[in-house]
């Protein structure tokens, strides 16, 4: 192990925060941004769906398979120890990244969706019964609606929904009214994937805690844009995905307070989550392994660790300034187009713009933009109840990341003008 | 704008999107069905009045992209007055056209106005938009309105 750790020390030594945010330098780190689509430069504005990956992440995944591949927590051989070390080191990194109290509180999952399903299956079934209530909001992604609906059907609980106003902000007064002795859980999105709304999550949590109700935070959209401190928020659970924060697909995290996780029954059974098995009785492993049955996505986990290093090196403060700039620039350009209506004008937003164009369906916009090399998302964004709230079947969504530029937004806006000219 | 895009969004298609034919409710339909494409939210309600084997009257309503709306408009005109068997044959030819390789020869005579959707072949993600109305037609033919 010693030579491995020496290599690692070298890698840590070159890790230092950048002084100046230079988007051209950032862009050089993302190989996909150099490619062309339909003969045009790629303008990737679908970052709320998934972000692109920097070279360091791609290299880490490749290096794992070329030089480090072995199963974890099993072998006494060198490669198994190495893989275990890299895997567990990422867990520590994530614990520091979100400021959790212990590595035991960091459970690896396939992504936000699986994290939420884990809570619903394990915590939900153990703690909820007929007449109990779960509170979510109108702006939830389907992955923070459907697991609770399934749970409600199984245990006879009820789903209550916090309304939002026309700007896309939560109506907190209504939320406070929904909280009662029947409430057993609140599960709320931190940042809306469709509207970009940053919810006042701290208020939501402290209000729930006054009723002794634990809170799940869906942070799928948060990690690439702002720092999340689970102890400052005092959230009970937090779920996020690697692929929306420059990391690989197929890896995500569930943070849970140790006492809550300890009291929960296992989610899936299998290898790695047990201490001993006989046909009479199985003793479950300790946290967090109790919730990690089977061989996990080791390569993606290591890649996620590199993505976090990368984000920290650039710095969330610098990223936020850059993205806020892009948001303002794009908002102004879209506001100048009479046919365009932006959906969601929340007080606090990340760099997500959902909009509709008079007389043009989003799917047509998406195809025409794509032919111009511009990748946007069109449709209901897995938030159908939210679409109904705003009375639109679908929207077009542009979402920006740290590597996007004003030139790209100009290109996007020009393409929108082209759409309007075509449909006039 | 690219050649493919111009082919997809021909003036005829844009005109049908703006002013679709047969965009109406039928007073006494014998067959109806609702078609839905969850990917993009396109939704269409199709109603027909069959007299024996012949589609005597047909209308649709709903919301969707230009391709799905124009397709519903032109499809309803194309099958109006045809037998169920003839409509089925047209559907087969249409489906072949929008999913076949570029080199495939098309039966342009039989397809008539429907041939303007040939450009959809270049856009695999839009094939479902063009065929939504047709699939709704097929399911409507299997769903006679209850007369009780």
What is the 3-state secondary structure of A168-216? CCECHHHHHHHCCCCEEEEEEECECCCCCEECCHHHHHHHHHHCCCCEE
A226: exposed, middle or buried (Cβ count in 10 Å: 0-12, 13-18, 19+) = middle
How many domains in chain B?
1
How many domains in chain A?
2
Q: What's the start-to-end Cα distance of chain B, in Å? A: 54
E strand or H helix at B18, and its extent? helix B11-18
Confidence of residue B102 (pLDDT cuts 50, 70, 90): confident
User: Residue B19's domain spans which residues?
Assistant: 3-141
Does residue A244 lie within any of the structural domains? yes
Q: Which residues of B touch A387 (CB under 8 A)?
A: 41
Using the beta-carbon criterion (under 8 Å), do A371 and B66 form an inter-chain contact? no
Using the beta-carbon criterion (under 8 Å), do B126 and A387 form an inter-chain contact? no
Does residue B148 lie within any of the structural domains? no
Q: Which of A16, A152, A235, A382 is catalytic?
A: A382
The pLDDT, as a whole number, for residue A11 is 47
Q: In this structure, are A89 and A237 located in the same domain?
A: yes
Q: Residue B9: which of A379, A394, A422 has the nearest Cβ?
A: A422
Residue A235 designated active-site: no
The pLDDT, as a whole number, for residue B148 is 46
Does residue B84 lie within any of the structural domains? yes
Residue range B47-56: mean pLDDT, rounded: 95
ipTM score: 0.88
Does residue B146 lie within any of the structural domains? no
The pLDDT, as a whole number, for residue A7 is 52
Q: Which residues of A touch B41 (CB under 8 A)?
A: 379-380, 387, 393-394
Provide the 3-class DSSP secondary structure of residue B11.
helix
The pLDDT, as a whole number, for residue A158 is 98
Residue whose entry in the numeric block shows the structure tokens 């002084």: A19
Name residue A216's beta-bridge partners. A187, A237
Q: Is B129 on the interface with A (CB under 8 A)?
A: yes
Provide the 3-class DSSP secondary structure of residue A417.
helix
Q: Residue B129: which of A359, A360, A363 has the nearest Cβ?
A: A363
Kindly list the distances between the CA atom of residue B21 and the CA atoms of A16, A189, B71, in Å, as whole numbers in the listed order.
65, 43, 10
Q: Which has the closest alpha carbon to B63: B85, B83, B104, B35?
A: B35
Does residue A320 lie within any of the structural domains? yes
Residue A41 tokens read as 């430069």
Q: In this structure, are A407 and A366 located in the same domain?
A: yes
Q: In this structure, are A115 and A261 located in the same domain?
A: yes
Q: Which has the closest alpha carbon to A375: A26, A49, A31?
A: A49
Instruction: Answer whether A192's CB lies under 8 Å from A221's CB.
Output: yes
Sequence-ordered strand ranges (E) for A34-92: 36-37, 40-41, 43-44
- Convert A166-192 to b/e letters by CB count within 10 Å (16 or more is b): eebbbeeeebeebbeebbbbbbbbbbb
A73: exposed, middle or buried (Cβ count in 10 Å: 0-12, 13-18, 19+) = middle
Q: Residue A393: which of B4, B63, B66 has the nearest Cβ?
A: B63
Using the beta-carbon criterion (under 8 Å), do B41 and A368 form an inter-chain contact? no
For chains A and B, count residue pairs whose Cβ atoms are closer than 8 Å.
55
pLDDT in tens, A210-254: 999 999 999 999 999 999 999 999 999 999 999 999 999 999 999
Q: Which residues of B touch A38 (CB under 8 A)?
A: 2
User: Residue A189's domain spans which residues?
Assistant: 78-311
Does residue A6 lie within any of the structural domains? no
Kindly list the distances between the CA atom of residue B132 and the CA atoms of A59, B5, B94, B123, in Å, as whole numbers in the listed order.
43, 20, 12, 15
Using the beta-carbon criterion (under 8 Å), do A368 and B5 form an inter-chain contact? yes
Provide the 3-class DSSP secondary structure of residue A401.
coil
Q: In this structure, are A177 and A125 located in the same domain?
A: yes
CATH number of the domain that A288 lies in? 3.40.640.10
Q: In this structure, are A322 and A295 located in the same domain?
A: no
The pLDDT, as a whole number, for residue A228 is 97
More confident residue, A12 or B95: B95
Measure the CA–CA gap between A409 and A406, rounded to whole angstroms: 5
Q: Which residues of B touch A378 (CB under 8 A)?
A: 40
Domain end position, chosen among A311, A338, A369: A311
CATH number of the domain that B114 lies in? 3.90.1010.10
Measure the CA–CA gap between A303 and A423, rounded to whole angstroms: 44
CATH number of the domain that A342 lies in? 3.90.1150.10
Does residue A62 lie within any of the structural domains? no
Tens of pLDDT along chain A (424 residues) come to 555 555 554 444 445 678 899 999 999 999 999 999 999 999 999 999 999 999 999 999 999 999 999 999 887 899 999 999 999 999 999 999 999 999 999 999 999 999 999 999 999 999 999 999 999 999 999 999 999 999 999 999 999 999 999 999 999 999 999 999 999 999 999 999 999 999 999 999 999 999 999 999 999 999 999 999 999 999 999 999 999 999 999 999 999 999 999 999 999 988 888 888 888 888 888 999 999 999 999 999 999 999 999 999 999 999 999 999 999 999 999 999 999 999 999 999 999 999 999 999 999 999 999 999 999 999 888 999 999 999 998 999 999 999 999 999 999 999 999 999 999 8
């Amino acid at each position: 192990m010693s030579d491995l750790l020496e290599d690692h020390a070298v890698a840590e030594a070159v890790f230092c925060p950048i002084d100046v945010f230079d988007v051209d330098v950032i862009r050089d780190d993302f190989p996909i941004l150099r490619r062309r689509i339909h003969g045009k430069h790629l303008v990737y504005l679908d970052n709320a769906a998934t972000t692109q990956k920097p070279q360091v992440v791609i290299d880490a995944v490749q290096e794992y398979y070329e030089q480090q591949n072995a199963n974890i927590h099993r072998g006494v051989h060198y490669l198994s120890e190495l893989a275990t070390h890299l895997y567990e080191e990422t867990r520590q990194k994530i614990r520091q990244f979100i400021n959790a109290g212990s590595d035991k509180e960091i459970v690896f999952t396939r992504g936000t969706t699986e994290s939420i399903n884990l809570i619903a299956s394990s915590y939900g079934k153990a703690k909820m019964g007929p007449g109990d209530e779960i509170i979510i909001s109108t702006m939830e992604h389907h992955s923070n609606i459907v697991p609770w609906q399934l749970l409600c059907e199984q245990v006879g609980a009820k789903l209550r929904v916090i309304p939002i106003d026309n700007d896309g902000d939560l109506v907190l007064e209504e939320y406070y009214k929904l909280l009662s002795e029947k409430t057993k859980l609140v599960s709320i999105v931190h940042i809306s994937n469709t509207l970009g709304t940053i919810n006042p999550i701290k208020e939501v949590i402290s209000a729930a805690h006054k009723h002794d109700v634990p809170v799940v935070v869906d942070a799928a959209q948060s990690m690439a844009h702002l720092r999340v401190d689970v102890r400052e928020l005092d959230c009970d659970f937090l779920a996020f995905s690697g692929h929306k924060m420059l990391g690989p697909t197929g890896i995500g995290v569930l943070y849970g307070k140790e006492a809550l996780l300890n009291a929960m029954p296992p989610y899936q059974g299998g290898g790695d989550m047990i201490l001993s098995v006989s046909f009479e009785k199985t003793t479950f492993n300790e946290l967090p392994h109790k919730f990690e049955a089977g061989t996990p996505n080791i390569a993606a986990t290591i890649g996620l660790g590199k993505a976090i290093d990368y984000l920290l090196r650039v710095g969330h403060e610098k990223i936020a300034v850059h993205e806020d700039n892009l948001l303002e620039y794009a908002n102004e350009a879209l506001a100048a187009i009479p046919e365009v209506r932006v959906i969601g004008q929340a007080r606090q937003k990340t760099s997500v713009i959902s909009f509709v164009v008079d007389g043009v369906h989003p799917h047509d916009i998406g195809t025409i933009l794509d032919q111009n090399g511009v990748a946007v998302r069109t449709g209901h964004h897995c938030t159908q109840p939210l679409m109904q709230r705003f009375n639109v079947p679908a929207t077009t969504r542009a979402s920006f990341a740290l590597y996007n530029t004003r030139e790209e937004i100009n290109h996007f806006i020009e393409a929108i003008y082209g759409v309007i000219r075509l449909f006039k | 704008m690219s050649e493919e895009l111009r082919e997809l969004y021909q003036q005829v298609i844009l005109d049908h999107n703006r002013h679709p034919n047969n965009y109406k409710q039928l007073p006494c339909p014998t067959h109806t069905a609702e078609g839905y494409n969850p990917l993009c939210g396109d939704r269409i309600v199709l109603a027909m009045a069959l007299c024996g084997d012949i589609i005597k009257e047909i209308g649709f309503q709903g919301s969707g992209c230009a391709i799905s709306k124009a397709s519903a408009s032109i499809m309803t005109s194309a099958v109006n007055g045809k037998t169920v068997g003839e409509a089925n044959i047209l559907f087969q030819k249409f489906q072949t056209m929008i999913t076949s390789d570029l080199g495939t020869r098309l039966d342009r005579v039989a397809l008539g106005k429907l041939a303007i959707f040939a450009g959809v072949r270049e856009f695999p993600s839009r094939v479902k938009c063009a065929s939504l109305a047709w699939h709704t037609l097929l399911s409507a033919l299997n769903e006679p309105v209850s007369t009780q």
